[in-house]
């Protein structure tokens, strides 16, 4: 069994940690796999362009460096921690309206992917490139941030277009997604070290990118709430060190009907 987090940001977009710092953060805590998923904004909208100019998202120009650093850090993560690092992006369609905004995670990418166009086409492109697509925080995330409801509003039409839908983001579990029959995944949407205390995905597969992505597609996974003692002072008494990984509360015990719905 290994803990995994498939939604993590770095300084290549709006995260506060560099990629090497992210790798060390997860590696030192014994995680088995992470995906670094920095934002890619739309190239034709004012919001997307502004985000690019402000360095809040990846651009065609910064992407080659991003991919190279991910490659070298994946090697380092494996060498030091036996942890798999999967290259990803979060294709971010941001509009003034939350109902027109959508974030789509692509995992296992090999080249730059555009956030332009309709979400169904984007999801199709992701699969055509051999990557997998995840609907990121499709419902109210409960945080003071941009909300993205577009995918959820089109969930019946897009149900098959995505390999997984985030059932949790950060420390918040989404009952709407949980109670649906959609394929699921839980991630932290980590931007700062403190976000380590959040829902994670638990996998039981070989520590290899293909095996990990296959487990997501086949939904051979469960979710755990991870409480990080080093970056969470409030709960520092629960664990003696940050090597203590998983709190006992898990989705499986709390929401036993989920396996049935999957079947």
| SS3 assignment, position 45 | coil
Q: Per DSSP, what are the bridge partners of residue 135? A: 104, 165
Contacts with other proteins in 7-26 (CB under 8 A)? 10-12, 18-21
- 72 near other proteins, judged by CB under 8 A: yes
Distance between CA atoms of residues 237 and 77, nearest Å: 29
Answer yes or no whether residue 221 interacts with other proteins by CB under 8 A: no
**65 versus 80: smaller Cβ distance to other proteins:** 65
Query: Is position 179 an interface residue for other proteins (rule: CB under 8 A)?
Result: no
In angstroms, what is the minimal distance from the CB of 61 to other proteins? 2
Burial of 216 (0-12, 13-18, 19+ CB in 10 A): buried
Burial 18-36 (b: 16+ CB within 10 A, else e): ebeebbbbbbebbbbbbbb
> For the range 141-144, what are the long-range contacts, defined as Cβ-Cβ under 8 Å and sequence gap of 24 or more?
141/169, 141/170, 141/172, 141/189, 142/172, 143/170, 143/172
Of the two residues 60 and 259, which places its CB atom closer to other proteins in the complex?
60
By CB under 8 A, name the one of 44, 71, 208, 217 that touches other proteins: 71
E strand or H helix at 189, and its extent? none
Stretch of 29-37, 51-59, 183-191, 206-214 contacting other proteins, by CB under 8 A: 51-59
Q: Interface with other proteins includes 54 (CB under 8 A)?
A: yes
Regarding 193 and contact with other proteins (CB under 8 A), the answer is no
Looking at 37, 59, 94, 188, which residue binds other proteins (CB under 8 A)? 59
Residues near other proteins (CB under 8 A):
10-12, 18-21, 52-54, 59-62, 64-66, 68-69, 71-73
């Amino acid at each position: 069994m290994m803990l995994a987090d498939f939604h993590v940001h770095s300084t290549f977009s709006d995260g506060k940690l560099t990629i090497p710092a992210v790798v060390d953060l997860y590696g030192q805590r014994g995680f088995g796999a992470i995906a670094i998923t920095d934002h890619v904004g739309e190239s034709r909208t004012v919001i997307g362009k502004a985000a690019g100019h402000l360095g809040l998202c990846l651009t065609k120009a910064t992407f080659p460096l991003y991919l190279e650093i991910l490659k070298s850090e994946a090697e380092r993560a494996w060498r030091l921690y036996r942890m798999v690092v999967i290259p990803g992006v979060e294709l971010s369609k941001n509009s003034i309206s939350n109902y027109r905004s959508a974030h789509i995670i692509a995992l296992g990418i090999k080249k730059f992917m555009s956030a332009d166009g309709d979400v169904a086409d984007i999801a199709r492109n992701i699969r055509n490139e051999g990557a997998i697509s995840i609907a990121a925080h499709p419902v109210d995330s409960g945080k003071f941030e941009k909300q993205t409801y577009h995918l959820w509003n089109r969930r019946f039409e897009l149900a098959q277009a995505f390999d997984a839908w985030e059932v949790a983001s950060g420390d918040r579990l989404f009952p709407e997604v949980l109670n649906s029959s959609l394929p699921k995944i839980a991630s932290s949407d980590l931007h700062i070290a403190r976000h380590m205390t959040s829902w994670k995905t638990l996998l039981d597969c070989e520590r290899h990118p293909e095996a990990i992505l296959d487990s997501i597609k086949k939904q051979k996974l469960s979710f755990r709430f991870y409480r990080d003692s080093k970056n969470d002072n409030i709960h520092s008494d629960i664990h003696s060190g940050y090597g203590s990984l998983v709190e006992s509360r898990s989705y499986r015990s709390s929401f036993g009907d989920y396996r049935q719905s999957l079947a």
